[in-house]
Structure 1
Amino acid sequence: MSQARVFLLPDLGEGLTEAELVAWHVSVGDTIVVDQPIAEVETAKSAVEVPSPYAGIVTELHGKPGETLDVGKPLISVTPVDSGVAADDAAPAPSPDQPVVQPTETELAEPKPASAAAEAYREEEKAGSGNVLIGYGTPGGHGVARRTRAPKAALSVVEPVETKPVNTTEDDLSLLRTRVPGKLGAVISPLVRRMAREHGVDLGGLQGSGDSGLIMRRDVEAAISTPAVEPAEIRRTPVVEPVETKTADPRTGLAVSARTPVRGVRKAVAANMARSRSEIPEATVWVDVDATALMELREGLKAKGGEAPGLLAFIARFVTAGLKKYPELNTRIETAEDGSQEIVSFDGINLGFAAQTERGLVVPSVRGAEKLSARELDAEIRRLTQVARDGKATPAELGSGTFTLNNYGVFGVDGSAAIINHPEVGILGVGRIIDKPWVVNGELAVRKVTELTLTFDHRVCDGGTAGGFLRFVADAIENPTSLLADI
């Protein structure tokens, strides 16, 4: 008999060491194929499906939904199909009239040829993609789990089963095997079970009139026809519902109404923000910007019948141009074991942007953003926003940014001293665009004004560089046509 293979929770990338088990896609006893999604887990980055590298029968699930599992710990145990099940499926069970023939010692010693099913599973495992990490599952991995009989001992005697003239469904078979707790042998027929369920009869409270306490149809019918009457003395006695006692907080003296575990995305955000505050000596600069020309440009594109990019895409185009001019803000600081530090520069820009989802704040990044036009940036920002909200963004899409753009104006606020997304060295925030009095050519006018806020790591540059970058983006917003020839 083949030994069960234990599949360990794989390395989920980006330094993630744990994941919360959201749901199982298979159950014990299911037959699975290579690359079939077996579970959904939620990491600090996203919710992902884990495919199986093995084919066979699920023998054990190592964990329950809601539990946090460590990378490298058992996730699922799978027994290859040739460990008794293949033979069980290949050869029909002997009928009650046929004696069970015991194999001879020679037959036991001789290796049995592998069944076609077992050989197919072995070939399937060889041909599998091997993609057991994250993403959306792997090619060909969306098979439906198949129920199979549990593996039987090689020399077990097959007991005769009474044949029913009616068709028996899988639900009926499960009901047929149901026993009432505390009543040995009280096997209830599917008809009786169904009747009790439809009429709300508690079988556990019935005394069966059949042999060995078997609950018969007449027992259920009697329970249905006899209405439950509450005793008068109980009706007259007021029932005092127990009141849940809440623990008082020792500091405030107030009752604690709830305790919510910090895990998943919230746990990752908390750890990253705390690390950013403790390690990065940050500074913040800001400026008010007249965005009227940019708004008019976008409205003009829409009036021509074309689909105009969103404002965030335009600003993203200005940011990438600014980072080319001031590359110090598109870097990262690395600290060696001896305490020495290096500023790491990059040949390219992966522009991250903050996206609010039901799972919390995540930062997907547009890879190679400096090569994209405003329209291309708009399309990629929309795509990444959707996959992030669906919980399907990959670690590569969530953890590869080199600079972050944060549009907190959608929340109706003007400005914010944002926390840098560690290990990056800068984040640019954009406030809401509102009408404000503004001096234009010496005269007061009403203009569309927004506030830009740049928080930067003072270790990589000084105020002159940060101010120069911020002014560059502000000037581009006020005179957008100078940079948007490629829109």
Structure 2
Amino acid sequence: MSAEMQVFLLPDLGEGLTEAELVNWLVAVGDEIRVDQPIAEVETAKSMVEVPSPYAGIVAVLHGEAGQTLDVGKPLISVAPVGAVVESGPAEEAAPAEVVSEAPAASAAAEAYRTEEKAGSGNVLIGYGTSGGGEARRTRPRKASGSAVAVASAPDFELSLSRTRVPGKLSAVISPLVRKMARDHGVSLDAVPGSGESGLILRRDVEALIGSVPRETAPAEVPALKALAVAEPAAGIQDSRTGLPVASRTPVRGVRKAVAANMTRSRSEIPEATVWVDVDATALLEMRAELKKRDPHGAPGLLAFIARFVTAGLKKFPELNTRIVTAEDAAGGEMQEIIAFDGINLGFAAQTDRGLVVPSVRNAHLLSARELDAEIRRLTAVARDGKATPTELASGTFTLNNYGVFGVDGSAAIINYPEVAMLGVGRIIDKPWVVDGQLAVRKVTELTLAFDHRVCDGETAAGFLRYVADAIENPGTVLADL
């Protein structure tokens, strides 16, 4: 029986995501890999993950370059059987990796994968295959990622993946990256002579014409990037609306893209209202200072105490720990339902190098202030490392946002959709405060609650906010009652 090259399709990385950005290859063409060995780092809209291979063998093709966005269900890597001779060639001597087309078997597998994903099959990254024994061996020196390759097969070796070009004018450009580059730079593909096989238009052909074609640049357009750059220089391009030169163009992708979509949906769907109150936090700071004297390394942080008060407040005002969903009524029409939860997953906003993320402490209502502190620190660390799981980033029922660390007092926060409320905590500063009829200097902070007016009225929101404020002003009494 002949052996076939095995094509690994990019899997659903969790939570129904449909695309991921290739950050870095962990293997190269010619490497021998084992089952479950990490082969690439990819960034989704939720986290950075390592993708393991379900196949063992020799790396034959890397289907993509660092910085490229790949669709779920499309080829990620091709693996040849051990013993096959795999040789790297110049990347532009053959059609680049992104123009590889699937043979019927691979195409059918990709289509089946997409069908299952739409049906919510649960096909996710975790759990393919069994671990292969032994260490990975490299059979050739490491080459640049994205190289085209030539595979010399043994007599019984068959390829299930071939490089083809469908006849017709449009098929002169197969790569979506090349199409996008031409569109973003105003280059007409009809006028581009293809230097690839059978007249295939390659990236270099479009790049040769960029700069010679005048175009008007809309601020929202983003050119294709070759690597993970924060911004791409845009020398010589003028903005059509302002007439000013464009200094750089930054693609909206990954976490930033997800945040933008989530915030836009929150603003468009949620009738948001906001209430706020100034709070005397002097007693809370004094209590924590005393605990720190007793246990310098184990005293919970202020955010953990506030988180404890929040979970207690949500038990008294559960309307703020809900979610609104659209359901079908008996007549087949649409109706809205308020879903209440038996428990609290407390999210907290964390600023990272990749953007704003909201990991959540699961079952926070069961944890003490000390336990909350430990979990908040752990989740902050994994979020900043880009290692938080989709479950950790997408399971919150209420969000606590400590924007005081940025030196501001308040904020008109946007609710973290699909939650219905968010509590913000401002900086703690010295302010004049009346205590027992006398003016004194106290440690004061501002609490701001943004809430969905569909789930409750102002009385409920104010009651919750006042409860948390009273707990901060009298922490010993409240903690004793918890």
User: TM-score, normalising length from structure 2?
Assistant: 0.70
Larger Rg: 1
State the match for 2:108 in structure 1: none
8 A Cα contact 2:404 2:425, kept in partner: yes
SS in 1 for 2:3: coil
Q: What's the counterpart of residue 307 of structure 2?
A: 316
Matched, 1:451 2:446: yes
Do residues 265 (structure 1) and 255 (structure 2) align?
yes
Verify the 8 A CA contact 2:235 2:247 in the aligned structure 1: no
Q: Which of these residues, 283, 287, 307, is aligned with residue 277 of structure 2?
A: 287
Quick check: 1:439 aligned with 2:434?
A: yes
Please say if residues 8 and 77 of structure 2, whose CA atoms lie closer than 8 Å, have aligned partners that are also in contact.
Answer: yes
Give the counterpart letter for 1:403 in structure 2.
Answer: F
How far has the Cα of 1:31 moved from its partner?
1.1
CA deviation after TM superposition for structure 1 residue 75, in Å? 0.9
1:334 aligned onto 2:325:
yes
Q: Which residue is 1:376 aligned to?
A: 371
How far the C-alpha of 1:245 sits from its partner, in A, is: 5.3
Unaligned 5+ runs, structure 1 = 86-130, 157-243
Residues 283, 256 of structure 1: CA spacing in aligned structure 2 closer, same or farther, 3 A cutoff?
same
- Residue 133 of structure 1 corresponds to which residue in structure 2? 125
SS in 1 for 2:77: strand
CA distance in 1, matches of 2:287, 2:126: 41
Q: Distance in 1 between matches of 2:134 and 2:273?
A: 49
The residue matched to 1:21 in structure 2 has which SS?
strand
Confirm or deny: 8 A CA contact 1:84 1:154 kept in the other structure: no
* 2-structure distance, mates of 1:291, 1:443: 17
Distance 2:38 2:282 in 1: 50
3-state DSSP of counterpart to 2:312 = helix
| Partner-residue secondary structure (3-state), 1:60 | strand
Structure 2 CA distance for partners of 1:412 and 1:84, relative to 1, 3 Å: closer
Report the residue type matching 1:300 in the other structure.
E
Percent identity of paired positions between Structure 1 and Structure 2: 78
CA shift for structure 1 position 153 = 3.0
Secondary structure in 2 aligned to 1:10?
Answer: coil
Shift of residue 316, structure 1, vs aligned partner:
0.2
1:349 matched residue in structure 2: 344
Distance 1:334 1:282, change over 3 A: same
Q: Aligned letter for 2:347?
A: G
Aligned residue pairs total 355
Is the Cα contact below 8 Å between 1:51 and 1:141 reproduced in 2? no
Q: Residues 16 and 367 (structure 1 numbering): CA distance in 2 closer, same or farther, change over 3 Å? A: same
- Say if 2:277 is the partner of 1:276: no
Secondary structure at 2:434's aligned position in 1?
A: strand
Q: Say if 2:327 and 2:334, in contact at 8 Å, map to a contact too.
A: yes
Contact 1:48 / 1:134 at 8 angstroms: preserved in 2?
no
Offset, 1:304: 1.7
Equivalent position SS for 1:246: coil
CA gap of 1:28–1:460, structure 2 versus 1, over 3 A, is: same
| Superposition TM-score, scaled by structure 1 size | 0.69
Aligned to 2:78, the other structure's residue is in SS state strand
Note if contact 2:58-2:84 (Cα within 8 Å) is conserved in structure 1. no
Q: What does the per-residue CA deviation read over 1:353-411, in whole Å, with 9 as the maximum and x for residues that have no partner? A: 00000001000000010000000000000000000000111101111100000000000
Deviation above 4 Å: which 4+ runs of structure 1? 137-145, 148-152
Question: How far does residue 443 in structure 1 lie from its aligned partner after superposition?
Answer: 0.8
Letter in 1 for 2:300: P
Q: Secondary structure at the match of 2:309?
A: helix
Paired residues for 1:70-219 under 5 Å: 70-81=71-82, 133=125, 143-147=135-139, 152-154=153-155
Report if aligned partners of 2:281, 2:445 keep a CA contact under 8 Å in 1.
yes
Q: Which amino acid aligns with 1:409?
A: G
Between structures 1 and 2, the one with greater strand share: 2
Unpaired segments ≥5 residues, structure 2: 86-122, 142-150, 158-233
Secondary structure in structure 2 of the residue aligned to 1:450: strand
2:248 counterpart of 1:247: no
* 8 Å Cα contact 1:37/1:142 also seen in 2: no
Aligned runs of 1:334-483 on 2, under 5 Å? 334-336=325-327, 338-483=333-478
| 1:485 CA drift (Å) | 3.8
1:264–1:245 distance in 2 versus 1, CA, 3 Å: closer
Q: Distance in 2 between matches of 1:339 and 1:363?
A: 30
C-alpha distance in structure 2 between counterparts of 1:248 and 1:271, whole Å: 28
Deviation at 1:322, TM superposition (A): 0.5
